[in-house]
Amino acid sequence: MVSAEILERLSATLASRRDADPSTSYVARLFHKGQEAILKKVGEEAVETIMAAKDGDKLHLVREVADLWFHTMVLLANEGLSAEDVLAELARREGISGIEEKAARPAQD
Ligand SMILES: N=c1c2ncn([C@@H]3O[C@H](COP(=O)(O)OP(=O)(O)OP(=O)(O)O)[C@@H](O)[C@H]3O)c2ncn1[C@@H]1O[C@H](COP(=O)(O)O)[C@@H](O)[C@H]1O
C-alpha cells in the first residue's frame, strides 16, 4: 500500500534539487526560474484538474491531481517548507474538529 512516505521521499528529493544544476533536472530548472514560474505551474495544474474533473475520466483526474500536488510541493520547497508541514496542519485540524464536535454535542446525562 502506498503511504505518506512517498510525500516524505519526494520532499527530500525536491530539497536536494534546490542547489542543483538547472540543466540536469526539471525541478532544478523550476527552482532556478523562481517563484513566478512555480506559481504559474500551480495555476495551470489547478485549471487542468478542474477540466479533468468535468470530463469524468477518473484516471485523467488522478494524474492531474498528482501534477497539482507535485507542483504545490515544489512551491513549498521553494519557501523552505515541505509536505510534512501540511500533514502536521491537517493532523492539527483533526484534533480541532474533534474538540469542536464535542463542544457542539453537549453531554447527554
Ligand atoms: N513527480 C514528479 C513530476 N510530476 C510531473 N512532473 C513534470 O512536470 C512537468 C509539467 O508537466 P506539464 O503537463 O505541464 O508538461 P510540460 O508542457 O512539459 O511542462 P512545461 O515545460 O510547460 O513546464 C512535466 O515535465 C513532468 O515531467 C514531474 N517531475 C518530477 N517529479 C518527481 O520529482 C523527482 C525529481 O525530478 P527531477 O529533478 O526533475 O528529475 C522525480 O524523481 C519525480 O519523483
Q: What pLDDT was estimated at residue 97?
A: 72
Q: Is 9 in a helix, a strand, or coil?
A: helix
How many whole angstroms from its chain centre is CA 80? Answer: 14
Q: Quick one: which atom of ligand 1 is closest to the CA of 27?
A: 39
Cα 42 from Cα 46, distance rounded (Å) = 6
Distance of CA 107 to the CA centre of its chain: 38
Predicted confidence at residue 107, as pLDDT, reads 53
**CA 72 to centroid of ligand 1, rounded, Å:** 12
Ligand 1 pocket mutation pick from 18, 25, 26, 62 by most atoms within 8 angstroms of CB: 26
Distance 35 CA to ligand 1 centre (A): 16
Residue 4 — pLDDT band, cuts 50, 70, 90? confident
pTM to 2 decimal places: 0.89
Residue 102: per-residue pLDDT: 53
Q: Does the pLDDT value for residue 106 go beyond 60?
A: no
Residues in the chain: 109
Confidence band (pLDDT; 50, 70, 90) for 105?
Answer: low
Q: 43: which 3 cell numbers?
A: 495555476
Average pLDDT over residues 38-54: 98
> ∠ at Cα 27 (47, 79), nearest 5°?
80
Q: For domain 4-92, which CATH number applies: 3.10.20.600, 3.40.50.300, 3.50.50.60, 1.10.287.1080?
A: 1.10.287.1080
pLDDT band at 108 (very low <50, low <70, confident <90, very high): low
Does residue 8 contact residue 84 with C-beta atoms inside 8 Å? yes
Averaged pLDDT of the chain: 91
Q: Name the grid cell of 94.
A: 483533526
